Chain A
Amino acid sequence: MKNKTQLSVRPVRRTKKTGYPSWQEPNPLEQPYAQPYPFTQKALNWLAASGLCGALFFAQEAEGGVAKKPDKMERMDKDTLGNPFPFERMGVPFRTSAFGTGVPERLTSKEAQTVIDSVFRAEGIRLEKTVIRTTDGFVEVDGYDAVQKIGYVWIDWGRMDSDMYTSWMDLKRNKDGSFTKVKRLRFADNHLRDYDYSIKKIHEAYSKYKPTSEAQKAFIQKLKNLIDNGSPDWDDDYKYLYYEYILAERVERFKKYNAGGFSNITEYMEGVLSIGAGSNRNKQLDIAIDVLAAYKVDEDWLAKVLIEAAQSRHASAKLKRLNKLQEAYQALKSYAPEKQDKLKHLIIDGKDDWKPAVEQAEQWLDELKISMVEAKALEAEAYKKGQFVALISQKDERWIYRATVEWVNQIRQSALESIKRQAPKLDSIELEKRADLWYGKPDYSDTKEYVLKNLENQVHDYIRWAKQQRGY
């Protein structure tokens, strides 16, 4: 019996992703390269007979024809060998795209480093992760042979310091198409309201610790004074005040929470260690030491904090390397004559025996990210000290690809099948010739495999150049 259920309008709340390009995405006919229209043989004959071959040309051109791509497989000539990874080719500072849209496909860190490591291995170079000291600080490199003094650093988004990129929000487009960096007011009345709101939220969450509203008001007043007085260093001063306030809050909270156990420890540690980057790290260290010293944090307690943070499944990647942090902290505190002394005063006092420990601590904090200054310094080390570290940046345009070999072959196969249907008697050689004529030769220069091969060749060239510079 027929189901007589009457139909009714029922809105759909969720739908599956369509899986093919929409009108808002780049035209797939031109990605990775143009694809001419597959006319039938009948239509081609008619066009030729009617003298409209130009239309065919137009059709091909209208669809972009088959663009000739320059050969990107650069190889260094033996006689004119240069550094294939100079600072200028790192692609920095680069401009982030709005909401990550329109970014090309690039080699991933895993893909690139697999190739790079294999090349160094093949050349007999034993790589180890280490920290190199430059004139501008310490830099952690992904692989370095201390004997042969050659290695590389892979710079991806996670390793880039704040001066290596410019947010799209900080740029203003000029009429001639160039960009000017806009100095944004870090906070205005609405920002203050936002921070006021967020501070209130912190207070609500941790209300049992009862932070004083006077402290909050004083903090806001300090910020306002900075704005009103137009301090040239208002950015750093603001950060200092913010960190001081927030860190003080957190330390106060964890001191009281100590009796009950250790939770949200990672938040504390991240609050100490992850705010700011690059040039702010020294200031961050200052602040951390000031706060720790001012609040008389118990050493044993802090040691337990470090251990538990490292074991916590919520610990960030940085915190997972806490053995180094622990060593650094132990080194720091072991040189403090008394617990209440501010460690940084020791530096000013100029005692040499504690310097290596402090430097080691600074080194650990600094090595996580690489700034442009540090990258340039690293490049300069090659000439000053014979220390060759290749600066291989993910943002280098050479590691952009638009297709894979499989995709290009699929398109080619589709073209061959189309011709075969129209002219089944053609042999394979003629098929290929006709496909080349109508659709152009398959272009592999934009494929991922080609780019990986190019990277491999460039790394070989770098090693050759480095050895040549050293004279062996």
Chain B
Amino acid sequence: MLNTLSVSFHLTHDCNLRCGYCYTGTKTHAPMSAQTADAGLKLIEQLALEQGIPNVEIIFFGGEPLMEKELIFHILKRCRETSSGLRFSFKMSTNGTLLTESLLLDLLRNEVFVSLSLDGGPETHGEQRPNCGGHSSYGMVERSIPILLKHIPCANVTCVTTPSSAHRLAENVDWIFRKGFRYITTTLDYTADWTSDDMRALEKSYRQLAIWYEEKMRRHERFYLSSFDERIRTHTRPPLQATERCVAGTRQLAIAPNGEVYPCITFVTTERLPQFLLGHVNEGLDDACRSYFHRCSESEKAECAGCSLKSRCSSWCACINFMSTGTVTQASPIVCHQEQVLLPIVDEVARRLWKRRNTLFLHKHYNDLYPVFEYLDINT
């Protein structure tokens, strides 16, 4: 992460879905212009060269980025033509409704790694991700799943859990797995009003998921489940340093469709957040704002003082804290409760796998070369 500048291009605020938990605000047809995109790229190159960062990661975001296909390829063309000497990599997060095979092949030719937002089975997906007409978008997404897996076997899926779908988390993960996805990132809707009852339902789901995880590991199934694997890694890998975890505002930026620059994707909404504005693609960045934001987001949270889970908790994430509390200086109570619930469950599963000396568990968490071997296993 030290050598990479990560920039999200919010190509548009518009989207053909109306997900209940979407934090980006009102869906307006106000796409980014090609000039803004060019200015954004110029700013990024300048920034990367000034700071001696050799790698630039561009993430196409939105709204729904595939609604601005031409702009995507325009940016890709510009990056190929640049003579700055920087190495570019590309990612995109899409709802999958507009993905066709030819489009996917074009994206892959341009080395764009596509990840899918998929909340689970038809029931959950239909409830949480309706289209503009209020109907389930599952049918539109279902078509793109085999296309995606055919060309990207290691495609990543992001699964959002809301209070109303907390009791179905295990079922949703299993459904996604049975569809063929092997890299599953689960996250919560941090903007929602989670209550103790919701957390209890979530805990029950995590326990079911623990049984599922252990069974898959015992069968030596290759997969990645973020909620479990990342938490085990907080124990098997050294704690992340401040320069490694949240680099929002310093080595991570988000460019809104109108050219305003923010620290991270969470702050790019149709309702402007001037208190988090770092600059504009045409005017440059305010370094004082950037360092101030970084200091605020990295500041010690008084409410977390003395917590024995501090080194394993993700309360350092400014985005999540902002979504939950409205500020970056306060720890999210949703994260706090989740970690207190999930960490013991995860540790118990890991302990059981360790006790059996499960070979896959050992390599997954103690072998630095595991990602390479896993990639070979999944993609061959």
Enumerate chain A interface residues (CB-CB to B < 8 A): 2-16, 18-23, 27-29, 35, 37-40, 42-43, 45-47, 59, 62-63, 407, 410-411, 414-415, 418, 421
Task: Type the 1/0 row for B337-358, where 1 means its CB is closer than 8 Å to any CB of A.
Answer: 1001001100110110111111
Q: B303, A12: Cβ atoms under 8 Å?
A: no
Q: B354, A418: Cβ atoms under 8 Å?
A: no
Task: Type the 1/0 row for B210-225, where 1 means its CB is closer than 8 Å to any CB of A.
Answer: 0000000001101000
Q: A21, B366: Cβ atoms under 8 Å?
A: yes
* Nearest chain A residue, comparing its CB with the CB of B376: A43
Q: In whole angstroms, what is the CA distance A62 to B369 when docked?
A: 9
Q: In whole angstroms, what is the CA distance A7 to B301 when docked?
A: 16
Q: B195, A4: Cβ atoms under 8 Å?
A: yes
Q: B333, A27: Cβ atoms under 8 Å?
A: no
Contacts of B70 in A (CB 8 A): none
Task: Type the 1/0 row for B46-59, where 1 means its CB is closer than 8 Å to any CB of A.
Answer: 00000000000000
Contacts of B236 in A (CB 8 A): 20-23
Contacts of B358 in A (CB 8 A): 414
* Nearest chain B residue, comparing its CB with the CB of A4: B195
Chain A CB within 8 A of B242 CB: no
Contacts of B344 in A (CB 8 A): 15-16
Contacts of B370 in A (CB 8 A): 37
Q: B305, A11: Cβ atoms under 8 Å?
A: yes
Q: A63, B367: Cβ atoms under 8 Å?
A: yes
Q: A18, B219: Cβ atoms under 8 Å?
A: no
Q: A18, B347: Cβ atoms under 8 Å?
A: yes
Q: In whole angstroms, what is the CA distance A2 to B197 when docked?
A: 7
Q: Which of A6, A29, A414 contacts B367 (CB 8 A)?
A: A29
* Nearest chain B residue, comparing its CB with the CB of A5: B196
A68 to chain B, nearest CB (A): 20
Contacts of A7 in B (CB 8 A): 194-196, 199, 333-334, 336-337
B80 to chain A, nearest CB (A): 29
Q: In whole angstroms, what is the CA distance A8 to B304 when docked?
A: 11
Of the listed stretches B29-37, B61-69, B91-99, B306-314, name the one at the interface; the rest are far from the partner chain: B306-314
A435 to chain B, nearest CB (A): 12
Chain A CB within 8 A of B140 CB: no
Q: Which of B235, B304, B360, B380 contacts A38 (CB 8 A)?
A: B360
Q: In whole angstroms, what is the CA distance A411 to B356 when docked?
A: 8
Q: Which of B303, B306, B347, B350 contacts A13 (CB 8 A)?
A: B306
Q: B350, A20: Cβ atoms under 8 Å?
A: yes
A106 to chain B, nearest CB (A): 22
Q: B359, A411: Cβ atoms under 8 Å?
A: yes
Q: Which of B196, B336, B357 contacts A410 (CB 8 A)?
A: B357
Contacts known (A43-B380, A47-B376, A414-B356); A28 close to B237, Cβ less than 8 A: no
Q: In whole angstroms, what is the CA distance A299 to B240 when docked?
A: 68
* Nearest chain B residue, comparing its CB with the CB of A52: B376
Q: In whole angstroms, what is the CA distance A46 to B379 when docked?
A: 10
Contacts known (A7-B336, A59-B373); A46 close to B367, Cβ less than 8 A: no
Q: B235, A18: Cβ atoms under 8 Å?
A: yes
Q: In whole angstroms, what is the CA distance A47 to B237 when docked?
A: 29
Q: A20, B367: Cβ atoms under 8 Å?
A: no
Chain A CB within 8 A of B331 CB: yes
Q: In whole angstroms, what is the CA distance A101 to B252 when docked?
A: 41
* A–B Cβ pairs within 8 angstroms, 10 of them: A9-B333, A10-B340, A18-B347, A20-B351, A21-B236, A22-B235, A37-B367, A40-B222, A46-B380, A421-B220
Q: A10, B336: Cβ atoms under 8 Å?
A: yes
Q: B359, A415: Cβ atoms under 8 Å?
A: yes
Contacts known (A28-B366, A39-B373, A414-B356); A18 close to B195, Cβ less than 8 A: no
Interface centre among B308, B348, B380 (most CB of A within 10 A): B380
A21 to chain B, nearest CB (A): 7
A367 to chain B, nearest CB (A): 44
Shortest 10 CB-CB distances between A and B: which pairs?
A11-B307, A19-B351, A20-B354, A46-B380, A7-B333, A5-B196, A9-B303, A3-B197, A9-B336, A18-B347
Q: Which of B237, B333, B336, B347 contacts A16 (CB 8 A)?
A: B347
* Nearest chain B residue, comparing its CB with the CB of A411: B357
Q: Which of B199, B219, B301, B359 contacts A35 (CB 8 A)?
A: B359
Contacts known (A16-B347, A19-B351, A19-B354); A37 close to B363, Cβ less than 8 A: yes
* Nearest chain B residue, comparing its CB with the CB of A63: B367
Q: B357, A21: Cβ atoms under 8 Å?
A: no
Q: In whole angstroms, what is the CA distance A21 to B236 when docked?
A: 7
Contacts known (A18-B235, A59-B373); A418 close to B199, Cβ less than 8 A: no
Contacts of A38 in B (CB 8 A): 220, 359-360, 363
Add 19 more A-B contacts to A7-B195, A19-B354 (CB < 8 A): A5-B195, A7-B333, A13-B307, A14-B308, A18-B235, A19-B347, A19-B348, A21-B354, A28-B362, A29-B366, A37-B373, A38-B360, A39-B376, A40-B222, A46-B380, A47-B380, A62-B369, A63-B369, A410-B357
Q: B308, A27: Cβ atoms under 8 Å?
A: no
Q: In whole angstroms, what is the CA distance A139 to B152 when docked?
A: 75
Q: B197, A23: Cβ atoms under 8 Å?
A: no
Contacts of B359 in A (CB 8 A): 35, 38, 411, 414-415, 418
B245 to chain A, nearest CB (A): 16
Q: In whole angstroms, what is the CA distance A415 to B220 when docked?
A: 10
Chain A CB within 8 A of B377 CB: yes
* Nearest chain B residue, comparing its CB with the CB of A38: B359
* Nearest chain B residue, comparing its CB with the CB of A62: B369
Task: Type the 1/0 row for B103-140, where 1 means its CB is closer than 8 Å to any CB of A.
Answer: 00000000000000000000000000000000000000
A362 to chain B, nearest CB (A): 52
Contacts of A2 in B (CB 8 A): 195, 197
B159-201 at interface with A (beta carbon < 8 Å):
194-197, 199
Contacts of A45 in B (CB 8 A): 380
B109 to chain A, nearest CB (A): 22
* Nearest chain B residue, comparing its CB with the CB of A55: B376
Contacts known (A7-B333, A12-B340); A23 close to B376, Cβ less than 8 A: no
* Nearest chain A residue, comparing its CB with the CB of B306: A11
Contacts of B237 in A (CB 8 A): 23
Q: A414, B357: Cβ atoms under 8 Å?
A: yes
Chain A CB within 8 A of B274 CB: no
Interface centre among B219, B237, B356, B359 (most CB of A within 10 A): B359
Chain A CB within 8 A of B238 CB: yes
* Nearest chain A residue, comparing its CB with the CB of B337: A7
* Nearest chain B residue, comparing its CB with the CB of A24: B238
Contacts of B307 in A (CB 8 A): 11-13
Q: In whole angstroms, what is the CA distance A94 to B348 when docked?
A: 38
Q: A9, B369: Cβ atoms under 8 Å?
A: no
Contacts of A35 in B (CB 8 A): 359, 362-363
A356 to chain B, nearest CB (A): 59
* Nearest chain B residue, comparing its CB with the CB of A44: B380
Q: In whole angstroms, what is the CA distance A92 to B313 when docked?
A: 46
* Nearest chain A residue, comparing its CB with the CB of B354: A20
Contacts of A19 in B (CB 8 A): 347-348, 350-351, 354-355
Q: A9, B238: Cβ atoms under 8 Å?
A: no
Q: Which of A3, A59, A63 contacts B195 (CB 8 A)?
A: A3
Q: In whole angstroms, what is the CA distance A339 to B125 when docked?
A: 97
Contacts of A8 in B (CB 8 A): 333, 336
* Nearest chain A residue, comparing its CB with the CB of B372: A59
Contacts of B377 in A (CB 8 A): 39-40, 42-43
Q: B354, A46: Cβ atoms under 8 Å?
A: no
B113 to chain A, nearest CB (A): 21
A50 to chain B, nearest CB (A): 9
Q: In whole angstroms, what is the CA distance A415 to B305 when docked?
A: 45
Q: A27, B366: Cβ atoms under 8 Å?
A: yes
Q: B351, A29: Cβ atoms under 8 Å?
A: no
B219-270 at interface with A (beta carbon < 8 Å):
219-220, 222, 235-238
